[in-house]
Amino acid sequence: MSEKEALLQKVKELKKDRNAIILAHNYQIDEVQDAADYIGDSFGLSRIAADTVADVIVFCGVHFMAEGAAILAPDKIVLLPEILAGCPMADMVTVEALREKKKRHPNATVVTYVNSSAAVKAESDICVTSSNAVNVVNSLDTEEVLFVPDMNLGDFVAARTDKRVILWDGYCRTHHRVNVADVASARKAHPDAVVVVHPECRPEVVKAADHAFSTGGILKFARETEYNKLIIGTEMGLIYRLRQENPGKEFYLLAQGLVCPNMKYTTLAKVVKALETLETRITVPASVSEPARRALELMLAVA
């Protein structure tokens, strides 16, 4: 038995003992995806966390995702196998800075990307993920929106709504690194491929691509499209699942730098340790989790 097989076996046994489920984001490393009960985008995983009957949720992703699960499933034990796995974009907005900006835009509805801390969600009117941001914003009964923290996703939404969208100046270091020259050279290398990117990419990259979707949306598009060659403009972890689900199709990563270091911290050995020790448990105090849950549940009710 290989080391990986032994760890997978151990995960299986511990999962049964603990009545646990393993959720893995689409950007997780291959071996962690292999151990997961569910692999998905932020939206899909938050729905599963909210509905699960398991006692323990091992969240293989980054901190805000585990925090979201702890908010939506307050009676569960939510574990993050690697506590250092954060999201630099989520750290680009603080409660204090948001309160200041809200004072300057008192009529704006605060729409917050789930890539944010629980405390920032608690200061917000409603949350969004990349898969539902346009629908959520269009469902609002307001003229003006303060979109936090991703300026690129905010711009993507602004182009698809009549609302006035005020942007925060946050961004994802991984997706923001891609530029239009990368799109041009990928198209030159693979002229008969379709280009699909994540809306966290810069607006000019989204414009230069053929489509922009959440990671779940990219998976759906890849399954349904008649194109056999796809250039993928999102974090490299998605390519593993794309290739598994579509053995007859070819996938090319849009640019070399599409790696989120935080998403790569979680390993199978750390998942085993989390299940053995029930560490690190993610909890959110009620004073924060209650208003944050309201913002998340309003989102889940829309889409």
Q: In 10 A of CB 102, how many CB atoms?
A: 16
131 φ/ψ angles, rounded to the nearest 5 degrees: -85, -20
Look up tokens 């038995």; give the residue: 1
Q: Does residue 26 bind ligand 13P (CB under 6 A)?
A: yes
Could you say which DSSP state residue 215 is in? H
* Burial per residue of 49-84, b for 16 or more beta-carbon CB atoms within 10 angstroms, e otherwise: bbebebebbbbbbbbbbbbbbbbbbeebbbbbbbee
Q: Which of 35, 93, 166, 172 binds ligand SF4 (CB under 6 A)?
A: 172
Q: Does residue 67 bind ligand SF4 (CB under 6 A)?
A: no
Instruction: Name the minimum Å distance from CB 200 to ligand 13P.
Output: 5
247 φ/ψ angles, rounded to the nearest 5 degrees: -60, -20
Q: Does residue 222 bind ligand 13P (CB under 6 A)?
A: no
Q: Does residue 201 bind ligand SF4 (CB under 6 A)?
A: no
The secondary structure element, H or E, covering residue 301 is helix 286-302
Tokens of 274: 């989390």
The stretch near ligand 13P (CB under 6 A) out of 39-47, 104-112, 139-147, 186-194 is 39-47
Q: Which of 112, 174, 214, 289 binds ligand SF4 (CB under 6 A)?
A: 174
The residue (of 54 and 262) whose beta carbon lies closer to ligand SF4 is 262
* Burial per residue of 30-43, b for 16 or more beta-carbon CB atoms within 10 angstroms, e otherwise: ebbbbbbeebbbbb
Q: Does residue 129 bind ligand 13P (CB under 6 A)?
A: yes
Instruction: Name the minimum Å distance from CB 26 to ligand 13P.
Output: 6
Chain contacts with ligand 13P (rule: CB under 6 A):
26, 41-43, 115, 129-130, 172, 198, 200, 214-215
Q: Please report, as ranges, the residues that interact with ligand SF4 according to CB under 6 A.
A: 62, 87-89, 115, 172-174, 200, 235, 260, 262-263
